[in-house]
Amino acid sequence: MFSQNIFDLSLYEYDKPQPSWWEKTADTTIDLKADPLSGDTTCDVAVIGGGYTGLSSAYHLAKDYNVDVRVFEAGHIGWGASGRNGGFCTMGGTQIPVHKLIKIFGLDETKRYYQAQAEAVELVENILETENIDAQKQGAGEMVVAEKQSHFENLQEECSFMREKLGIDCQMISQGEFAETHYDAPHQYGAMIQFPSFGLHPLRYCQGLAKAAEKHGAKLYSHSKILKWYKNGNKHILETAKGKVVADKVIVACNGFMPENLNSEISARILPLQSHIIVTRPLNEDELVAHRWVSQTPAINSRNVYHYYRMLPEKRLMIGGRADFKGTPEGAKQTASRLKQSIGELWPEWSHVDIEYDWRGLVCFTSKLRPSIGRMPQDLSIYFGFGYHGNGVNNATWTGRELAKWIATGNDKTNPLPNHLPKLVQGITPRFPLPGLRPYYAKAGVGWHQLKDKFNL
Ligand SMILES: Cc1cc2nc3c(=O)[nH]c(=O)nc-3n(C[C@H](O)[C@H](O)[C@H](O)COP(=O)(O)OP(=O)(O)OC[C@H]3O[C@@H](n4cnc5c(N)ncnc54)[C@H](O)[C@@H]3O)c2cc1C
């Protein structure tokens, strides 16, 4: 049903950077050597995709294990979701509610997963510090803002559970305290806040990670889309428009931008979904006071189909949310105006504020609503990590590190599962039945959650 891509072609214009606030404020002092591949080359590990998963794999393979690794990116480095996300370095990665996780995996494994989430946030923080990356780290914690009194009570229950059973640092903020310490608005009934979490400039982080990978010996190639992939004996041959690489192992790190025709065993397991972000002009002091806004903390609201938002250091409000299921430019315009309307609903005093930037990209869901990390059972020299469910800043970075460790130190030659990781993320998730119908599954799933929000189910 789909030849190359699941969404409208306008989402795959690799030569065009997004018109995002992040591109506008990228770190111009970082000069990557990442020229397009030209001619033939060889390496131990070829990575397809130059986002956090691919760059973190390359960074750790080169720095920690001295492995000859090359990263091939279709656009510029960070062209995909890693250069255009909301910059929430927070815990998450699965859409399965915690009580269900416990039913499926048991308490110990669920706890192990949550602890790994916290460790993944700390890993990003550590890379920022060690590599001296100027990624505008901002705020502490992530808030879930209750939109109704009943939501606050549910969050209270969840918070106690997280703290007592999973060892997660979690606190409640009452409505009054929230108005004093974060902001005041009609739809806030207090919040739950979780640590560790913070905000960052996603593209600057990506640029810094890429520079660090280069510094430690990884080779990066931008504008080098892998067009053909086949094997010759036990060697992988990857072809771009102007060159060819021969590699022993391949890491597939394309997440939501995985092309349909690169490896159908992987793409049939990937459900890309659009997320859209708008950014306002800078708010002036009077406007900030109108909602008593002093918060630096990344936040989402307590709906099933939620908005994510934060005040950027330049006092511009950034808000993101779901988008349409086709990905056309017309659909993008409608989404942007719906998000502007949401600003008016959530913060009525700001309904007149102009939007100066809007852009979109693809996140990745899986059939089991959890990340997928492993090796292809049909070919153990192919590694992958995807399916972070809109939570890849920490997850993709951590996945890259874990793939690197596994490749460099794993002595089990036959196991497709990374046994050293929490069970929740282990191995390939099942194919979607009739993969061509994936956009319809997404529409049905989001529609159901919107109904639940509407009728408070
Ligand atoms: C609008 C938006 C907001 C988001 N907000 C947040 C957030 O606030 N916090 C958070 O944690 N997560 C967020 N996410 C999700 C997060 O950005 C992703 O989970 C993460 O960046 C995934 O990293 P990745 O490296 O796996 O994939 P990507 O960064 O998407 O990189 C995949 C790359 O593969 C490349 N590629 C594809 N095919 C080929 C090929 N044939 N050859 C070579 N290269 C190829 C693509 O060009 C792309 O650059 C958001 C995502 C979007 C789109």
Q: Is 24 among the domain residues?
A: yes
DSSP of 95-143: -S-HHHHHHHHHHHHHHHHHHHHHHHHHHHHHHHHHTT-----B-SSEE
Interval between CA 11 and ligand 1 midpoint (Å): 12
Whether 167 has a pLDDT exceeding 50, the answer reads: yes
Q: Does residue 397 share a domain with residue 248? A: yes
Q: Does residue 263 share a domain with residue 231? A: yes
Contacts (Cβ under 8 Å, ≥6 apart) of 426? 373, 374, 417, 418, 419
Domain span including residue 245: 14-85+203-272+368-446
The CATH number of residue 215's host domain is 3.50.50.60
User: What is the amino acid identity at position 54?
Assistant: G
**Average pLDDT across the chain, whole number:** 95
Nearest to 417 by CA among 385, 383, 375: 375
Q: Is 255 among the domain residues?
A: yes
Q: Is 291 among the domain residues?
A: no
* Mean pLDDT calculated for residue range 403-428: 90
The per-residue pLDDT for 1 is 40
The per-residue pLDDT for 282 is 98
The per-residue pLDDT for 5 is 82
101 touches ligand 1 (CB under 6 Å): no
What would you measure as the largest C-alpha separation in the chain, in angstroms? Answer: 68
Q: How far apart are CA 87 and CA 122, in angstroms?
A: 15
Q: How far apart are CA 63 and CA 400, in angstroms?
A: 13
Q: Does residue 209 share a domain with residue 172? A: no
The per-residue pLDDT for 415 is 85
- β-strands 271-282, 355-365 pairing: antiparallel
* Mean pLDDT calculated for residue range 278-297: 98
Answer with the one of 158, 175, 195 that is the final residue of a domain: 195
Q: Is 157 among the domain residues?
A: yes
CB-based contact 220:214 (threshold 8 Å) = yes
208 touches ligand 1 (CB under 6 Å): no
Q: Does residue 183 share a domain with residue 44? A: no
The per-residue pLDDT for 335 is 97
Q: Across-strand partners of 249?
A: 45
Ligand 1, from 393, 395, 397: best to mutate by most atoms within 8 Å of Cβ? 393
Whether 2 has a pLDDT exceeding 60, the answer reads: no
* Mean pLDDT calculated for residue range 83-87: 98
The per-residue pLDDT for 138 is 97
- Of the pLDDT bands very low, low, confident and very high (cuts 50, 70, 90), residue 4 is low
The per-residue pLDDT for 364 is 96
The per-residue pLDDT for 413 is 73
Q: How far apart are CA 355 and CA 258, in angstroms?
A: 30
Answer with the one of 179, 195, 211 that is the final residue of a domain: 195
- Of the pLDDT bands very low, low, confident and very high (cuts 50, 70, 90), residue 3 is low
Q: Does residue 191 share a domain with residue 211? A: no
* Mean pLDDT calculated for residue range 194-222: 98
Q: Is 172 among the domain residues?
A: yes
User: What is the number of structural domains in the chain?
Assistant: 2
Interval between CA 294 and ligand 1 midpoint (Å): 30
Interval between CA 287 and ligand 1 midpoint (Å): 34
- Of the pLDDT bands very low, low, confident and very high (cuts 50, 70, 90), residue 439 is confident
Q: Is 453 among the domain residues?
A: no
Q: Is 406 among the domain residues?
A: yes
The pLDDT > 70 percentage for the chain reads: 98
* Residue burial 96-135, b: 16+ Cβ < 10 Å; e: rest: bebeebbeebeeebbbbbbebbbebbebbbebbeebebeb
Angle between helices 392-409 and 52-65 (to 10 degrees): 40
The per-residue pLDDT for 455 is 65
205 touches ligand 1 (CB under 6 Å): no
Answer with the one of 172, 195, 218 that is the final residue of a domain: 195
Angle between helices 202-215 and 98-130 (to 10 degrees): 60
DSSP H stretches of helix in 39-80: 52-65
Q: Is 266 among the domain residues?
A: yes
What is the sign, positive or negative, of the torsion defined by CA atoms of 236, 240, 245, 247?
negative
Q: Does residue 217 share a domain with residue 169? A: no
374 touches ligand 1 (CB under 6 Å): no
CB-based contact 374:427 (threshold 8 Å) = yes
Q: Does residue 207 share a domain with residue 190? A: no
18-70 pLDDT, tens digit each = 999 999 999 999 999 999 999 999 999 999 999 999 999 999 999 999 999 99
Q: Does residue 185 share a domain with residue 43? A: no
Q: Does residue 373 share a domain with residue 224? A: yes
Q: Does residue 214 share a domain with residue 69? A: yes
Q: Does residue 155 share a domain with residue 32? A: no
Q: Does residue 440 share a domain with residue 372? A: yes
Whether 449 has a pLDDT exceeding 80, the answer reads: no
334-354 pLDDT, tens digit each = 999 999 999 999 999 999 999
The per-residue pLDDT for 370 is 97
CB-based contact 190:144 (threshold 8 Å) = no
* Mean pLDDT calculated for residue range 217-243: 98
Q: Whose CA is nearest to atom 3 of ligand 1?
A: 85
